[in-house]
Amino acid sequence: MITVNGKNVELPHPMSVAEYLETNQYSAGRIAVELNHKILSKAHFADTMLTECDTLEIVTFVGGG
């Protein structure tokens, strides 16, 4: 189980941050991800595997005026 934006989430199988974002319909171009209290570079989304007890904070950017 991991925590995503303060909620417990059970992963169906081991997955990378990129796979989690895609599975949950996040647009990789418009988000910031913090993994275990450290900002994760977009360059590392695909090669960073989520593990038991990880904490993700996902922030989406919305344009407007």
What is the set of domains in the chain, with CATH numbers? 2-60 (3.10.20.30)
**pLDDT of 65 higher than 70:** no
Give residue 63's pLDDT band: very low, low, confident or very high (50, 70, 90): confident
Average pLDDT, the chain: 93
Q: What is the 3-state secondary structure (H, E, C) of the chain?
A: CEEECCEEECCCCCCEHHHHHHHCCCCHHHEEEEECCEEECHHHCCCCECCCCCEEEEEECCCCC
**pLDDT of 29 higher than 80:** no
How does pLDDT run across 34-57, given as a tens digit for each residue?
Answer: 999 999 999 999 999 999 999 999
Q: Write down the pTM of the prediction.
A: 0.88
